[in-house]
Amino acid sequence: IVAGLGLCLVCHSSFATTVGFAQVGSESGWRTSFSESVKAEAKKRGIELKFSDAQQKQENQIKAVRSFIAQGVDAIIIAPVVETGWTPVLKEAKRARIPVVIVDRNVQVQDESLFVTRIASDFVEEGRKAATWLMSQPQAQKQCNIIELQGTVGATAAIDRAKGFNEVLAKHPQAKIVRSQTAEFTRAKGKEVMESLLKAEQGGKAICALWAHNDEMALGAIQAIKEAGLKPGKDLLVVSVDAVPDYFKAMADGEANATVELSPHLGGPAFDVIEGYLKGKKDTEKLIRTTGDLFLQDTAAAEYEKRRLN
Ligand code: GYE
């Protein structure tokens, strides 16, 4: 009761702050950790969380946001599937005076007052880091044919990672992406698409590297590479983004080479912004950046031990 009264002084109208969270889905290990981080953080702070999994479909997200508005939540967190198409529903939230925080991928809107802030990593920089590492490898000094597995079409993480990677590649004429296709950020698609791209490349003997927009697709592709009779991590270098525990295991086993870390701990910063806003802080920066380092095989076993139970 005492805790409840404390909260009531902050939010005026009800006991606990209620936040709706429109999540992309559960397509990757990274995404699942991110969902868990938000749920755990809400619990810790006594925030009532309404969680919606959109199964990678923007229309489901828009429906979820409309339902949060109808329920009169105090704030909404959106982790958008794709960048475009958000203006109408964000306007509806604004009209209802419900603050919206964008987390992870971006939204393209003309009017920046439609959301409080966006909390995200620099995906272009992640692509640059991945390519810079790859281009520093001995195998990449001669002709280096690359297969790219792209993330979800229209998602910032796919658009920007490709951009950063290609920017670095442009300075290395001996390297080029010979095949590129989306595998929607999932392990199953990563395997399926890699199988067909390796076939199209005569089994993959002339391929120098796989560049995947996330670890999950890379993990699926590693299976396909093995089934094609090649050694991932050796015959074909494997580089991606996220740094999920399973990928550290693959690096420790020598089957993957590098990944750029993406922090899934976005719940804390998102609720900090929301709680601040509800207490009257209205001047938050429009972009809050998280950062991540490149990880390689040398520390993979130790990192795996540290992270596997988290
Ligand atoms: O890398 C991937 C997830 O949007 C940055 O989405 C995120 C990406 C992440 O499914 O694993």
- The answer to whether the Cα torsion of 136, 241, 104, 266 is positive or negative is negative
How high does pLDDT run on average in the chain? Answer: 95
Position in ligand 1 atom list of the atom nearest CA 185: 10
- Confidence band of 224 (pLDDT split at 50, 70, 90): very high
Distance 173 CA to ligand 1 centre (A): 29
Structure tokens at 37: 């981080």
Q: ∠78-218-204 over CA atoms, to 5°?
A: 145
Report d(CA 117, CA 114) in Å as an integer: 9
Query: What is the model's pTM?
Result: 0.94
- Confidence band of 101 (pLDDT split at 50, 70, 90): very high
Structure tokens at 201: 């490349």
Distance 14 CA to ligand 1 centre (A): 35
pLDDT reading at 139 higher than 80: yes
Mean pLDDT of 112-124: 97
pLDDT reading at 277 higher than 90: yes
Report d(CA 73, CA 274) in Å as an integer: 12
Report d(CA 68, CA 62) in Å as an integer: 10
Cβ of 242 below 6 Å from ligand 1: yes
In this structure, are residues 38 and 49 in contact, taking their beta carbons and an 8 Å threshold? Answer: yes
pLDDT reading at 3 higher than 90: no
Percent pLDDT > 70 in the chain is 95
Tell me the pLDDT tens digit for each residue of 11-56: 455 579 999 999 999 999 999 999 999 999 999 999 999 999 999 9
pLDDT reading at 127 higher than 70: yes
pLDDT reading at 266 higher than 50: yes
Cβ of 105 below 6 Å from ligand 1: yes
Q: What is the pLDDT, as a whole number, of residue 6? A: 46
pLDDT reading at 253 higher than 50: yes
- Confidence band of 9 (pLDDT split at 50, 70, 90): low
Q: What is the pLDDT, as a whole number, of residue 310? A: 66
In Å, how far are 110, 149, 165, 166 from 170, measured between CA atoms? 31, 18, 9, 6
Q: What is the pLDDT, as a whole number, of residue 309? A: 79
